[in-house]
Every structure is written in C-alpha cells, then in structure tokens.
Amino acid sequence: MSVTIAPQMDVSAPAVAAPLPDVIPPRKARGPVWRFVRRYPTVVVGGVILAVILLAALLAPWLGTVDPTALSPAKRTRFPSEQYWFGTDMLGRDIYSRVIYGARVSLLVGFTVAILASIGGLAIGLVSGMVRWLDGIVMRVVDGMMSIPPILLAIALMALTRGSVQNVIIAITIAEIPRVARLVRGVVLSLREQPYVEAAVTTGTRMPAIIWRHILPNTLAPMTVQATYICASAMITEAILSFIGAGVPPSVPTWGNIMAEGRALWQVKFYIILFPAIALSLTVLAVNLVGDGLRDALDPRMAKEV
C-alpha cells in the first residue's frame, strides 16, 4: 500500500487550499432570447421558416401577386422572368401568385387537421386508457383503421363525397385520428401507473378530477409533438389528394393542384412543378423541425446539458 502524503509544515496558521480555476471558461452572459436559440436551434429555425410562410399566406395580396386564377392564354408556359417570378402555367396563370395563395390552403389544412385530430384522438385515447372494458373494443377498431395507410383511407373517404377544402380536412382528420388515439392511450396507461396518480386515488380524488388534474396535463407534451407531425403529414396528404384530383377542386390554387397541372409537362416545363414542390418541402421541413425541437424541449429527461 502506498499512500503519498505531502509533508506537513507545522504552522499555526490555518492550512488553506488555493482555489482552483474553472476548467470551462464562464459563458458570456446573454439575454434569454439568445439562450433559447442556443438550446433549441431547431425550434427557432423551423419557427422562423414557418412564420415567413404563414406571413406570406396571410399577406398574399400585398406581395406583388396577381389574381391566381386569372387566365391569360397568350402568356402560357413562360419561363421564370422578372415579370413572372416563377413562370406561368399552361393556362397562363402566374405560378408565383398561385404558390403564395396555395400556402393558405396547405397551412389551413395542416393546422386544422392537427387540432381536430388531436382533440379527437385525445378523447378516444383517454376513454380507452381509463375505461378498461371499452379499451378492447375501441383499440380493435383503431387497429383496423391503422392497418390502412392514412392516404388510402383519405382517398376512400374523399371518394364518398365531393371535393372541397372542408371535406379534405374531415377526411384527413379521420385518417389521422387513430395514430393520436394510440399514442394518447399508451401515455395514459403509463400515467395510470404513476405513483402520483395512485396517490390521488388514495387521497380520495374522484375519477373525473384525476383525469382532469393528473392525467390530461401530462399527456399534453407528447400530444403537442405528435400534433406537429400530424400537421406535416396532413399537408402532404392534402397535396397528394389534390395531385390525383381527389382533393380540393382544381379551381382553388393549392400546391397539389399546381403540381397536378404541371405533371404532363414536367420534362419540358419543370418549373411548374418545382416551385410548389419546394414550397411544400420547406413547409413540411419547418413543421418537423419545430416538432423535433419541441420533443426535446418538452421532455425533461432529454434536457440537454449544452
């Protein structure tokens, strides 16, 4: 055994350990905004892109657009130029204006479906997770719905009705609800086993209050994250529906419709499809970035030490 001990001077003054310098230089004090950017860069990047697209959709009439449905057969399939930034389609409509106005439909469908599917899925998931005897029945129905890809389900539902933005929203919502319901049910089942829920039972809390105070608030974080993914997926589904002509009527400019019209010409007039495709990809990317960031920010276990 070898113990190394420094020889100790016998002095009456107290032996004081010299303070050690920090290994990491202290970070410059910055404002709370900058700290948020450092911690959740994806939320910030996604959020900024999304905000720009949202503003563009809201302010469409003031962004140098013309009537997106105005035909001008003389100026068909023009290449992008100073006058027609994104070119014109085969009916001479300005693609730039159509893409900007199309954002309105995409965002409307995305956000509305996200909210409606969340509410519907939350209700089904809560009931299924809390009421044991209903769980078996509800979950078999949900399983059945989930065995069909959401896009096929949405197409089938659209086949039953006529094309309109409202019907598209309803169809996609129904197709997306099972995923939310499954998620919420899973979260509820694990929350039920949490000691704080057991504690609520033993302190005489009634079932509705347990759901309201102890279960529901703790499902919101995973729900919010899921809602962003649903939003992204709904926008893609809407574009697909429009693209194959099962969605919003062709008179309404949507990204799917613009691409559908450019489909026949895409080898020669690629820009007809290119710009709405970029807009769709960018929007979906932004929403997913926000979702990923939120997942990190809302999950305390994933709190990063930056």
Partner 1 sequence: MSETLLEVNDLKKHFTLGGGLFGRSGKVLKAVDGLSFTVDRGETLSLVGESGCGKSTVAKALMRLYRPTAGQVVLGGTRIDEMSDGALRPLRRRIQMVFQDPFSSLNPRMRVRAILAEPIRNFGLARNRADLDTRLAALMERVGLPRDALGRYPHEFSGGQRQRIGIARALAAEPDLIICDEAVSALDVSVKAQIVNLLCDLQKDLNLALLFISHDLAIVEHMTHRVAVMYLGKIVEIGPRRDLFLAPKHPYTQALLSAVPVPEPGAARTRIVLKGDVPSPIAPPSGCRFHTRCPHAFDRCRTEIPALDPVGRGHFAACHLNDIPSENGRSHLSSMALMGVQ
Partner 2 sequence: MTQAPLLSIENLQVHFRTPEGVNRAVDGVSFSIGAGETLAIVGESGCGKSVTSMSILRLLPEPPAAIAGAIRFQGTNLLDLSDKQMRKIRGNDISVIFQEPMTSLNPVLTVGRQIGETLRLHQGLSRSQAEERAVEMLTLVGIPEPRRRVREYPHQLSGGMRQRVMIAIALACSPNLLIADEPTTALDVTIQAQILDLMRDLKRRVGAAIMLITHDLGVVAEVADRVVVMYAGRKVEEAAVADLFRNPRHPYTKGLMGAVPRLGAAAHGEMTRLAEIPGMVPSLKTRIDGCVFAGRCPQVTELCRTQAPALERKGPAHLAACHYALKDALAA
CA distance linking residue 95 with residue 253, whole number of Å: 9
Which of partner 2, partner 1, none binds 194 (CB below 5-8 Å, type-dependent)?
A: partner 1
Give me the residues that bind partner 1 (CB under 8 A), please.
194-196, 198-206, 213-214, 217-218, 300
Beta carbon of residue 293, minimum distance to partner 2 (angstroms, whole number): 15
Report the residue from 3, 33, 74, 160 that binds partner 2 according to the rule CB under 8 A: 3
Which of partner 2, partner 1, none binds 306 (CB below 5-8 Å, type-dependent)?
A: partner 2
DSSP reduced 3-state for 94: strand
The sign one gets for the Cα dihedral 10, 14, 20, 21 is negative
Could you tell me which stretch among 20-28, 85-93, 139-147, 294-302 binds partner 2 (CB under 8 A)? 20-28
Report CA 247 to chain centroid distance, whole Å: 21
Could you tell me which stretch among 15-23, 89-97, 200-208, 227-235 binds partner 2 (CB under 8 A)? 15-23
Query: How many CB atoms neighbour CB 111 within 10 A?
Result: 18
Give the residue with the Cβ less far from partner 2, 38 or 140. Answer: 38
- If binding is defined by CB under 8 A, does position 301 make contact with partner 2? no
- If binding is defined by CB under 8 A, does position 26 make contact with partner 2? yes
Which of partner 1, partner 2, none binds 217 (CB below 5-8 Å, type-dependent)?
A: partner 1
CA distance linking residue 62 with residue 29, whole number of Å: 41
Of 285, 276, 280, 263, residue with least CA distance to 98: 276
Encoded amino acid at 113, one letter:
V
Which of partner 2, partner 1, none binds 218 (CB below 5-8 Å, type-dependent)?
A: partner 1
Which of partner 2, partner 1, none binds 137 (CB below 5-8 Å, type-dependent)?
A: none
Which of partner 2, partner 1, none binds 205 (CB below 5-8 Å, type-dependent)?
A: partner 1
Beta carbon of residue 299, minimum distance to partner 1 (angstroms, whole number): 12
- Give CA angle at 146 (188, 112), nearest 5°: 75
Could you tell me which stretch among 18-26, 143-151, 152-160, 272-280 binds partner 2 (CB under 8 A)? 18-26
Instruction: Say if residues 69 and 253 touch (Cβ distance below 8 Å).
Output: yes
The sign one gets for the Cα dihedral 173, 178, 183, 188 is positive
Q: Which two tokens stand for residue 17?
A: 């350990």
CA distance linking residue 109 with residue 241, whole number of Å: 12
Which of partner 1, partner 2, none binds 203 (CB below 5-8 Å, type-dependent)?
A: partner 1
Give the residue with the Cβ less far from partner 2, 13 or 160. Answer: 13
- If binding is defined by CB under 8 A, does position 5 make contact with partner 2? yes
- If binding is defined by CB under 8 A, does position 30 make contact with partner 2? no
Burial 42-58 (b: 16+ CB within 10 A, else e): bbbbbbebbeebbebbe
CA distance linking residue 157 with residue 245, whole number of Å: 13
CA distance linking residue 242 with residue 202, whole number of Å: 54
Query: Which spans of this chain sit near partner 2 (rule: CB under 8 A)?
Result: 1-6, 8, 14-17, 19-20, 22-24, 26-27, 35, 39, 305-306
